[in-house]
Amino acid sequence: MNGLSQIVEQGEAERLATGFVFTEGPLYHPDGFYYYVDVRASRFYRIKPGGAAELLRENTGEGNGTTFDIEGRLVLCEGGNRRLTRWPADGKFGSSEVVVDRFEGKRLSRPNDLVCKSDGSIYFTNPGSRIPLPERELDPSAVYRVKPDGSVSHVADFEYPNGLAFSPDERVLYVANTRQAMYIHAIELDSDGNMLRRRIFADMSSDEKEGVPDGMKVDVEGRVYCTGPGGTWVFAPGGEKLGVIRTPEVPANLCFGGPDMKTLFFTARTSIYSLRVTVPGLPGHWYRRNGG
């Protein structure tokens, strides 16, 4: 835990539930519970601290990344269905609407993760290498943006873009690249949310046998938490590696939660875990209960 002792509380991560195939899409709700998905089982769950996991929906089309829009509606990357959908804020999940399934008339590949900006724009990753070449309409893989008016624009190309997170001031969009080169890219944005320039923020190459750069979140002081080889890598705002948080299973994603936003919630393969930290995290979206 070298470099992490000031921000990660001592003790082991607590396992909250187990028995899943491959958990992903963690999302903390201001009402005090977490959403998450089992990608490979196409199931969507909710869990309250101290309670059992509750299955809310099946047949999610291999649902993966999740976020809230600014009106509190859940937005889901349906990788198998090759689209983003939006669900009512009432939490009943009885019906949904398609947010985006095409760019310039071409079908999306396999949307993976997404993040909501304070202006209501949703940025999402669209890796294509898992789509058979004859079925792949968009190439290369890329990050895209959906504005509140529904218009879709291209942000930047990548080999295999995965997790996304904004810096606290939203001037930088971090993108985890999973295949080929393992790194986190920093995309500097202008006032309209378009790319100004890009740079390598951190190299995540490793000899570890399990894990790739994947889900990301940022704390209020600008540290970047990215699940990756061997565990969750933590970087200072300048890109210096502070250490790796080890959990019983290597997580694919994480989020901050709890009333003080000091609980790390990990979706880690067959199980989900939590661990306390000393610095609050950013939620990764701009929804607040009752508009507060």
Q: pLDDT per residue over 134-144, tens digit each? A: 999 999 999 99
Q: Is residue 5 part of a domain?
A: no
Q: Is residue 100 part of a domain?
A: yes
User: For residue range 257-285, what is the model confidence (pLDDT) as tens digits?
Assistant: 999 999 999 999 999 999 999 999 999 88
State the pLDDT at residue 289: 53
Q: Is residue 3 part of a domain?
A: no
Distance CA 1, CA 158 (A): 31
Distance CA 114, CA 203 (A): 22
Q: Is residue 6 part of a domain?
A: no
Extract the tokens encoding 172: 């930088």
Distance CA 44, CA 60 (A): 7
Dihedral sign from CA coordinates of 267, 268, 273, 275: negative
Domains: count for the chain: 1
State the pLDDT at residue 284: 86
Extract the tokens encoding 215: 């889900």
User: For residue range 56-93, what is the model confidence (pLDDT) as tens digits?
Assistant: 999 999 999 999 999 999 999 999 999 999 999 888 88
User: For residue range 10-60, what is the model confidence (pLDDT) as tens digits?
Assistant: 999 999 999 999 999 999 999 999 999 999 999 999 999 999 999 999 999
DSSP 207-257: --SS--S--EEEBTT--EEEEETTEEEEE-TTS-EEEEE--SS--SEEEEE
Residue 97's CATH number: 2.120.10.30
Q: What share of the chain is helix, strand, coil (3-state, %, to 5)?
A: 5, 50, 50
User: For residue range 177-236, what is the model confidence (pLDDT) as tens digits?
Assistant: 998 789 999 999 999 999 999 999 999 999 999 999 999 999 999 999 999 999 999 999
For residue 74, give the 3-state DSSP assignment. Answer: strand
pLDDT at 154 over 70: yes
Q: Is residue 241 part of a domain?
A: yes
Q: What is the 3-state secondary structure (H, E, C) of 267-285?
A: EEEEEEEEEEECCCECCCC
State the pLDDT at residue 256: 98
For residue 37, give the 3-state DSSP assignment. Answer: strand
Q: What is the pTM of this model?
A: 0.96
Q: Is residue 234 part of a domain?
A: yes
pLDDT band at 288, cuts 50/70/90?
Answer: low
DSSP 155-221: EEE-SSEEEEEE-TTSSEEEEEE-SSS-EEEEEEE-TTS-EEEEEEEEE-----SS--S--EEEBTT
Which 8-state DSSP code applies to residue 134?
Answer: G
Q: Is residue 1 part of a domain?
A: no
**Those residues with Cβ within 8 angstroms of residue 111's Cβ, 6 or more apart along the chain or in another chain:** 64, 65, 77, 78, 79, 82, 83, 84, 124, 125, 126
The strand pairing partners of 106, in sequence order, are: 103
Distance CA 229, CA 249 (A): 11
State the pLDDT at residue 90: 86
Amino acid letter, 225: Y
Which 8-state DSSP code applies to residue 11?
Answer: S
- Per the structure, the complete domain to which residue 200 belongs is given by 14-291
Q: Is residue 7 part of a domain?
A: no
Distance CA 221, CA 195 (A): 23
Extract the tokens encoding 167: 């810096």
